[in-house]
Amino acid sequence: MARIGIFIDTLKGTLPSSFRDQLRSTLREIPEVAFSAEEEELVSSEALERMSKLLEREKVERVVVVGGSPKIYETSFQKWGLPLPLNSYLFTVANIREQVLWSSMDEKEAFEKAKRTILKALRIASSLKPIESQTLPLKPEVLILGGGLSGISIASTLAKAGIQVFLVEKEKTLGGKTTELWKFYNKEVEVKGWLEQKISELRQNPRISLLAPAQLKYLRGHLGRFQATVLTGKGEEMTLTPHVIVVTTGYRVERKRGGIYDHKRVITLSEMEKLLSETHPPFPLFEGKRVETVTYLLDETNEDIKLDAINALKQSLILQGSLKCQVTILCKEVKVSSEGMERLYRKARGLGVLFVKYEESPRLSLVDGQIQVEVKDTSILHKEDQWTISILSDLVVLPETILPHQELNELSALLKLHLGKRGFLMEDNPQLLRVRSNRRGIFVAGGCRFPQEISETLFEADALAQEVLALLSKGAYTYDLSVAEVDPKKCALCYTCPRVCPHSAITVEKYAEKNVYLTYGIPQNTQWGAAKVDPASCFGCGICVGECPARAITLRHYPDELIYIQMGVDG
Amino acid sequence: MANFEPKIIAFCCDQSGYPSADMAGALRLNLPKNVQIVRVPCAGRVEALYLLKALEKGADGVILFACYEDNCQYLRGNLRAKGRLSYVHRLMEKIGLEKERIEICYLATNSGVKLAETLERKSKELKRLGPNPCVDRR
Amino acid sequence: MIKAEQKPMEEILKAIDPYKKILLSGCGACVTVCHAGGEKEVGLLASALRMARKKIGKPLEILEATPARQCEPEYAQDLSELIEKVEAVLSLACGVGVQTLVRYFPKIPVLPGVNTTFLGETLSHGVWEERCQACGNCILEKTGGICPISRCAKQLLNGPCGGSSKGKCEIKKEADCAWQLIYDRLSSLGQLYKLEEMIPAKRWGVESRDSGLRRIIREDLKI
């Protein structure tokens, strides 16, 4: 067994002294223990300095910390990279406070169990192997897929910070869904001019290469070594080598069809937007006739997307406020949870816009060239007394159904990203890591993740740009090799691990000669002949280890031995 | 059954089981005496072999603590663990070992109480089932 | 690839009942890929068998090994050191592997631990389907790449039977009618004219499996 140094964290005296005495005498008997030092608060800077000096002097090979939960020690030693003269993975923690002393009834029993835990920790420490870190150089080159508002915004921010950006857009023109908007809901600026200025700035920016129309054909590689083949509109193939990829491909809309919904007086939100942009006061005209009554039918086509409510409210303020119309908004819930929306809602109510909440779908029918909308008014509590309101409308605005692009399935397969339950791209964590995808180095924002209105889209784009800058600014990505590793001699090339890996970090490099073992840091096109885990993209979860039918994969910081010792079956 | 303290091996993942075990301690909840906590980065790291080996080498019961479905930080670790557990259950059935000895329990980071209660319930259940019949009795 | 499934535990236990020390040998090729007999399954089965035998008071010692393949002479002979120490071998390889071991170790019982089921394709992870029955004279060119021997329940060679209904087979209701698939595929390739050529009856007794044990000899390769 290796020489082991023990640090007992008395946790400011919460470790009872009777226990400490017993422990000291037990440890004295064990030959591998070089020393056991006590500290009141092991993670304080003075204690760590003392620890550092002691380790240098005693020249131990492993360290065991006896104290509380491992997280706080790991954060100090590993994440903060404290200058300890020992590889930061050569230590283990015996969690005897939370998991032994505090959860045992009997003191004597607790001490016995704590001693057993510490002895186990000594065995674990002997089995540990050092884990090195590696650095992956990162160049400031980013590929952005999708030239809508998010893509344009991110491209500009990144270019300003000195990053070379390739912007690939499916259509010939940029702007996406934003080109259909006339006004913002919270700014007194017309969208068209604002957007055009952004686009012209982008076109003039020497750091942004615009490829439009163009589409992604293949993507190979991982963070820092992507190889993207793009097919341009002229039919030529270009190979780009970005180090980070951003996906902002947006969403599509579909008009609800069938029966009365095909009538020309049932229009979509974007058609109303266009109508308003062409309208001159005092009132809007539809086919030469005055429009007086407009009814919005929200939550029929999109159940829980705020975007419709925002646009409907914005349009209704114009219609009711300056175009002498009577607007009624029918909805299941009034969605005002966006910045400034509550104020606008009150303003709309003040202007006379009517809001009717419904539970059963309103009925539309044609009456003398107008659309009759019948809805039950649920503001009355007793269901039997709820009357049916009928509104004869010149125009009924029914928002389009918001859907993911039809090509998103294919694109997500090319990029090896996951799709969420609605068919949009899945973010890593909706609360904390909203712009990250399941793959390191690929970021997702905007409508392709979830459709939102402009200010939120711009915030998200900013957040994504910050993430990319944080990643690229140091010029390199440093990571520990606490990752999965495939033994190519045992790999049966069965493709199980690439399928199960949630982070798409495993590829099968299939060539002849399986019996060639290559160490880390191998060049890109070396023939490997087995499944290969990309260490920079691996998150160290260990799912592949349990799936491999040939037991060819090991998780370097959690090998079998470590688990067997913890189970107590290593004897 | 003779008065014995069932040996339970509890696989605790870094995202749910392990912090819950810490929390159970912080709340001073008493865990059954003979519980071994095995820390894993994700429930997906727990191979089917570990579950069987635990019993083979003398444990009376195994609990796999994992995150709720849809909640795994690595997307599908808990689902793969569930699949491996069902494979092991089928083997156990065929060799005459009670399926109840190995169980999966879903919880979150702050489920100290649920963890303690589950271990307590398991301990009682195992006392009823009796010690592991596949181990040499000394 | 060859697909196999682990035998029911009762059968395995009965087969190894008389022995006290066995070698459990997996195979690193086909049975690994279909998760039936690779190193992972060897470990699991060994653990389960040890416990099963301990439970009934007849302890069993199991040595575990997973050679890269069991069907080549060298790989099989590599196991000789381990085989010397045991009374029997429980092999999780396909039928070929079991019989290769039998040839090189004639004095020791070699028991199969898996049922070799078929030559199949992976439809998705964990789902495999039969595609080939090694008839020895491949007619896939004439049928647009869909094999009527393995995929048609009646092994018809010239068009569907009268029971083909809505693209499904009358023998196995969930299965697609192979001849419907053949027709659709040739149609999409613009090669329906191939169906006008009669495929003669297979000469099972002359050029296929009913003619007796089949062997391939390559004189140019012989050392």
pLDDT in tens, C190-207: 999 999 999 999 999 988
C28 chain-A contacts, CB cut-off 8 A = 490, 492, 550
Mutate: best of A102, A541, A563, partner B, most B CBs <10 A: A541
Amino acid at A480: D
Q: What is the mean pLDDT of chain C?
A: 94
Q: Which of A508-512, A546-550, B112-116, C130-134 has the lowest mean pLDDT?
A: A508-512
Q: How do the domains of chain C map onto residue ranges?
A: 2-118, 136-207
pLDDT at position A526 is 58
Q: C60: nearest CA in chain B?
A: B134
Q: Which of B36, B3, B38, B21 is nearest to B124 (CA)?
A: B3
CATH of the domain at A120: 3.40.50
pLDDT at residue C142, rounded to an integer: 94
List the single best residue of B12, B15, B33 to mutate versus A (max A Cβ within 10 A): B33
The domain boundary residue, chosen from A433, A461, A476 = A476
Are residues A77 and A19 part of one domain?
yes
From CA A186, how far away is CA A208, in angstroms rounded? Answer: 30
Q: Kindly state whether residue A171 falls inside one of the protein's structural domains.
A: yes
Task: Judge whether A564 lies within some domain.
Answer: no
CB contacts of A70 in chain B (<8 Å) are 39
Specify whether the CB–CB gap between B14 and A75 falls below 8 A.
no
A489 → chain C, closest CA residue? C68
Taking an 8 Å cut-off on Cβ atoms, the answer to whether B97 and C55 are in contact is: yes
Which residues from C are below 8 Å from B50, CB to CB? none
Q: Based on C-alpha coordinates, what's the Rg of chain C?
A: 22
Q: Which residue of A has its CA nearest to C33?
A: A494
We report the CATH number of the domain holding residue A231 as 3.50.50.60
Share of chain B above pLDDT 70, in %: 96
Residue B33: list chain A partners with CB under 8 A.
104, 109, 113
Rounded to the nearest angstrom, the minimum Cα separation between C72 and chain B is 29
Section A417-440 average pLDDT = 90
CA distance C63 to C87: 11
ipTM of the modeled complex: 0.94
Nearest-angstrom CA–CA distance, C161 and C154: 8
Per the prediction, chain B carries an average pLDDT of: 91
Q: What is the pLDDT of residues A144-182, one digit of tens each?
A: 999 999 999 999 999 999 999 999 999 999 999 999 999
Rounded CA separation A348/A350 (Å): 5
Range of the domain at A27: 4-131
Question: Are A413 and A454 part of one and the same domain?
Answer: yes
Contacts B76 to A, Cβ<8 Å: 500, 502, 543
pLDDT surpassing 60 at residue C133: yes
**Beta carbons of B95 and C48 less than 8 Å apart:** yes
* pLDDT tens digits along A251-306: 999 999 988 999 999 999 999 999 999 988 888 999 888 999 999 999 999 988 88
Inter-chain contacts counted by CB atoms under 8 A, chains A and B:
107
pLDDT of residue A348: 95
Instruction: Find the chain A residues whose C-beta atoms sit closer than 8 A to any C-beta of B.
Output: 69-70, 95, 97-105, 109, 113, 418, 429, 438, 500, 502-503, 539-543, 545-547, 555, 557-558, 563-564, 566-569
Q: Is residue A42 part of a domain?
A: yes
Nearest-5° angle of CA C47, CA A565, CA C55?
30
Tell which of A493, A496, A514, A547 to mutate to test the C interface (max C CBs under 10 Å): A496
With a pLDDT cut of 70, the percent of chain A lying above it is: 95
Contact of B95 with chain C, judged by CB distance below 8 Å, is answered with yes
Specify if A561 maps to a domain: no
Give the total number of structural domains in chain A.
Answer: 4
Q: Judge if A451 and A394 occupy the same domain.
A: no
Model confidence at B138: pLDDT above 60: no
Question: Is residue A390 located within the same domain as residue A447?
Answer: no
Q: What is the CA radius of gyration of chain A?
A: 32
Average pLDDT, chain A: 88
Put simply, whether C35 touches A (Cβ < 8 Å) is yes
Phi/psi for C82 (5° steps) reads -75, -35
HEC profile for A162-217?
CCEEEEECCCCCCEHHHHHCCECCCCCCEHHHHHHHHHHHHHHCCCEEEECCEEEE
Please name every residue paired with A402 in a beta bridge, in sequence order, or none if there are none.
A253
Q: Nearest 10 degrees: CA dihedral of A440, A413, A447, A163?
A: 40
The mean pLDDT value for C123-141 works out to: 94
Query: What CATH number does the domain located at C2-118 have?
Result: 3.40.50.2300
* Cα–Cα separations (whole angstroms), residue C120 to A78, A491, A556, C141: 48, 20, 35, 19
Indicate if A382 and A416 belong to the same structural domain: no
pTM given for the model: 0.89
pLDDT in tens, B14-68: 999 999 999 999 999 988 988 999 999 999 999 999 999 999 998 999 999 999 9
A32 lies in the same domain as A96:
yes
Residue A445 has pLDDT above 70, yes or no: yes
Where does a domain end: A448, A476, A504? A476
Each residue of A319-362: pLDDT tens digit?
999 999 999 999 999 888 888 899 999 999 999 999 999 988 99
- Mean pLDDT for A4-11 is 86
CB-based contacts of C3, cutoff 8 Å, min separation 6 = C30, C34, C36, C116, C117, C118, C119, C120, C128, C130
A442, A503 Cβ separation under 8 angstroms: no
- Out of A347, A371, A399, pick the residue that ends a domain: A399
Q: Tell me the residues of B at the A interface, defined by beta carbons under 8 Å apart.
A: 9, 18, 21-26, 28-31, 33, 36-42, 44-48, 50, 53-54, 57-59, 73-77, 80-81, 84, 116
Domains of chain B: 8-127 (3.40.50)
Mark out chain A residues that contact chain C at CB-CB < 8 A: 490, 492-494, 496, 499-500, 548-551
Does residue A571 form part of some domain? no
Residues A62, A65, A70, A74: is their CA dihedral positive or negative?
negative
Q: Please give the pLDDT value at position A221.
A: 86
Write the CA distances from A464 to A37, A157, A433, A461, integer angstroms: 46, 10, 10, 5
Q: A235 and A219, same structural domain?
A: yes
